Structure 1
Amino acid sequence: MSGRKSVQVAMGAMVLAIPLALAGTANASGGPHGAAFALQARGAVNYGPISAVDSASGPAKKSMQEYRAPDGSLVAGVLNAEAGPGWAKSSLADLRLKLQAYGGGSGNSELEASVLSSSCSGGSGEAHLADFKWGDKREGYAPPPNTGISIPGYVSVLLNKQTRNADGSLTVVALSVKVDGHQSLDIASSTCSCPEPTATPTPSPTSPSSPPATSPPTSSAPSPSSPNESPAGPLPEAPTPVPVAGHLPVTG
């Protein structure tokens, strides 16, 4: 009986191993790839990634109506993430971040934005922010890549943070926050692979072609004519001899 149970357990393990092996193969198969998430915190406080998607199994999309951090430091609404082969995008709305929850003072301790979004496709990307406010800081709708704002020794903020990864893919984060070196938050992150370079086809060697056949040149020489004909036609008749009167000397 115990032998039968061992066989059943072994077969069950094999059945479970098959889809895991297939999943590993799909993830490692290469090709265009995309991934995204709306929000993630790492450090003293950890949560997320929220609304995380990956295109390893095909196009994917996730949405959440609202998220509140467990420690009450952050609230955001309408969190979206979407990814497909070679592209990704993410966004959230109505962000309220209380930096004092991570040990900050009262000044410049709250960060707000009505909309944050990032997108990436074919190895290039961009980010957009609307109504971004941090103390007296105000930023435009589409900041240049890696626009930095910081309070030395306390908080550093990167808008439209763009990072080229070791595998050549690009990650675009609409808002990246680091607090006192022990807490980080990435908001609206999108990652996409770069298109693989297209190999230039090498022309196959060709054998020298034979010159086109030509017909022998035709001779323009006239055909041989009969004795009574010239090349231009029949010869004219010779004139009739006319006797000429004269005296020959007599010798003897």
Structure 2
Amino acid sequence: MITRKLAGVSAGAVGAATAVTALLLGAASGSAQPEFNDSAYGIAAEGLVPIDPTPSVESTDGEVVTDELLELPQPLGVGVLKVEAGGNAAKAQALDVNIAEQLELRVLTTTCDNAQGDVELIGGLLGGEDLPSEPAPGETIDASPLATVELNKQTENEDGTLTVEGLVLTLLPPGDAAAPLASEDFEQLEQLAPEQLQLPAEAPATVGDLRAQLEELNTDLPIQQGEALLTVTLTSATCGAEEEAPAPKPEPVETDLPVTG
């Protein structure tokens, strides 16, 4: 009898401990907060004239953060840059863009929503030619051997977020060094290139010749052979996907079991 009584007490204690543990675990899992990693910026550049992302916002708690920048002077020539991020969404917008009279945009809107990206252009012109209003992801336009534009560039990041870059302008991109240069190609570079870059007096015969002459004229050129001269990113939005709700936990079912023994 004593043995039975002690065993009953032990089982009750174990049952109570199990119930408390389950309650604590349930409370802990219920209090877990969703993670956010959303961000956006208006403009950035790498290469000859590096520009840190600006204006730039980031949200890690789901709250929407906004910022804007009014008027960038030529040669960048941007009227307004607006950015916002939060709640698994991000948006960057550029208004009244005119870069060296070569790239014109009335409105460029880049969005990321629940890890899905989209880019919309209104009044886009490159060298006088129309740009697509709803570009496909990664749509690239070769304006010349010396300038390319990539629209709606999308990159899946290791943390599961998606980065959407509205427009990426690259001057002197890596490519065929033997590609011939036309005078109009060189004139376009003259208009787009930063003022501090020393250019040859006349158009070289090939892309490789141009690179060689640029290195001679600009001894402190901060780029390596085969790298782009300048890369400008206009509007970027990064967001994650909403986490799926976990499956409901099974609820214990009370049953009456016969006691034997």
TM-score w.r.t. the length of structure 2 is 0.58
Q: Distance in 1 between matches of 2:52 and 2:124?
A: 22
Structure 2 stretches of 5 or more lacking a match? 1-32, 173-227
Paired residue type of 2:239: C
**1:10-89 correspondence runs (5 A):** 31-56=35-60, 58-68=63-73, 72-89=74-91
Distance 1:61 1:139, change over 3 A: same
Q: Does residue 114 in structure 1 map to residue 106 in structure 2?
A: yes
Secondary structure of 2:243's counterpart equals coil
Paired residue type of 1:62: D
Q: Distance in 1 between matches of 2:142 and 2:241?
A: 31
Structure 2 residue aligned with 1:144: 136
Q: Distance in 2 between matches of 1:208 and 1:149?
A: 70
Structure 2 residue aligned with 1:132: 124
Which gives a bigger RCO, structure 1 or 2 (Cα 8 Å, sep 6+)? 2
Q: Distance in 1 between matches of 2:87 and 2:248?
A: 25
Conserved? CA contact 2:36–2:60, under 8 Å: no
Q: Distance in 2 between matches of 1:151 and 1:76?
A: 20
Q: Distance in 2 between matches of 1:97 and 1:30?
A: 41
Deviation, 1:195, is: 1.9
Secondary structure of 2:248's counterpart equals coil
Deviation, 1:91, is: 0.6
- 1:59-92: per-residue Cα shift (whole Å, max 9, x none)? 2111122112xxx421101111111121111111
Paired residue type of 1:133: L
The correspondence for 1:154, drawn from 131, 140, 146, is 146
Q: Distance in 2 between matches of 1:152 and 1:110?
A: 12
Structure 1 stretches of 5 or more lacking a match? 1-28, 99-108, 211-252
User: How many equivalent residue pairs?
Assistant: 169
Deviation, 1:208, is: 6.4
Deviation, 1:163, is: 1.2
Structure 2 residue aligned with 1:216: none
Paired residue type of 1:53: V
Conserved? CA contact 1:89–1:117, under 8 Å: yes
Q: Distance in 2 between matches of 1:117 and 1:172?
A: 11
Deviation, 1:30, is: 6.8
Structure 2 residue aligned with 1:104: none
Tell me the percent identity.
29
Deviation, 1:140, is: 2.9
Deviation, 1:196, is: 2.2
Q: Distance in 2 between matches of 1:176 and 1:152?
A: 15
Which one has a larger percent helix, Structure 1 or Structure 2? 2
Q: Point out the more displaced range, 162-171 or 137-146.
A: 137-146
- 1:165-200: per-residue Cα shift (whole Å, max 9, x none)? 111101111111122223111111111112223332
Distance 1:176 1:207, change over 3 A: same
Paired residue type of 1:155: A
Q: Which has the larger radius of gyration?
A: 1
Which one has a larger percent strand, Structure 1 or Structure 2? 1
Conserved? CA contact 1:32–1:85, under 8 Å: yes
**1:213-228 correspondence runs (5 A):** none
Secondary structure of 1:51's counterpart equals strand
Secondary structure of 1:201's counterpart equals coil
Secondary structure of 1:52's counterpart equals strand
Paired residue type of 1:199: P
